[in-house]
Amino acid sequence: MRSAPLRRRHHRLGSRPPGTLTPMSPPAARPSRSGEAATREIIRAAGLRATPQRIAVLAVAARAGGAHLSAEDVWQRLQRNEEMDRSTVYRVLADLTDAGLLEQVRLGDGVARFEIQEIAHHHAVCTRCGATEDVSVEAVHALASRLRRDTGFSLAHHPLLLPGICAACSSSGD
């Protein structure tokens, strides 16, 4: 009897709308037993199998303190505690993003970054130093309402990336 052919799974990184950023946090440690159990349940609740790789990647993202991590950042943090191929990291990031547990963020530097899916928001990015600030959805809705009222122009789907100069760069006079 012939077995069914294996199907290669294709993932599109960034198939969900983007999310948030804060400064980089210290490296992730291996999740505690109770933390690992909670992570396992979160993954299962999203309809995925709770594999060791998914648990490890989600734990790194959870410990990032709101930082937007690239796939390379995640891989480097994982290498401190366990071996995982880069391709596995990319695949797991795609799975967790598709399941709605992570959000992919593009901050204008051409690098896909990931964060835990939380409250919807937008990003202001400093064009000098790369610092980012979260911008509330309410602030963007107010801007969109004013734009529509003043010009008749309606914004389409966002995420919105607002380039500008941060307070530190403005005050340094660069």
The residue type found at 150 is D
Distance, in Å, from the CA atom of 71 to the CA atom of 113, rounded to the nearest integer, reads 7
Taking the domains of the chain in order of start, what are their residue ranges?
Answer: 33-116, 123-172
Q: How confident is the model at residue 159 (pLDDT cuts 50, 70, 90)?
A: low
Distance, in Å, from the CA atom of 168 to the CA atom of 166, rounded to the nearest integer, reads 6
Distance, in Å, from the CA atom of 173 to the CA atom of 107, rounded to the nearest integer, reads 24
**Residue 103 CA: distances (Å) to CA of 14, 79, 142, 161:** 8, 22, 24, 15
* Ramachandran bin of 25, using left for φ above 0, alpha for ψ from -120 to 50, beta for the remaining angles: beta
Query: Of the ranges 14-18, 131-135, 154-158, which one carries the lowest mean pLDDT score?
Result: 14-18
- For the entire predicted model, the pTM comes to 0.56
Return the higher-pLDDT residue of 155 and 92.
92
**Residue 172 CA: distances (Å) to CA of 129, 131, 165:** 12, 14, 11
Pick one of 3.40.50.880, 1.20.1260.10, 3.40.50.300, 1.10.10.10 as the CATH number of 33-116.
1.10.10.10
List pLDDT tens digits, range 72-128.
Answer: 999 999 988 778 899 999 999 999 999 988 988 887 788 998 988 765 567 777 888
List pLDDT tens digits, range 140-149.
Answer: 778 788 888 9
Q: For domain 123-172, give the fold.
A: Dna Ligase; domain 1 (3.30.1490)
Output the pLDDT for position 120. Answer: 59
For the ranges 33-37, 66-70, 115-119, the one whose mean pLDDT is highest:
66-70
* DSSP H helices in 23-155: 33-45, 52-62, 71-79, 86-98, 137-151
Output the pLDDT for position 162. Answer: 76
* Ramachandran bin of 100, using left for φ above 0, alpha for ψ from -120 to 50, beta for the remaining angles: left
Q: What is the share, in percent, of the chain residues with pLDDT greater than 70?
A: 73
Q: Is residue 20 pLDDT above 60, yes or no? A: no
Distance, in Å, from the CA atom of 161 to the CA atom of 123, rounded to the nearest integer, reads 5
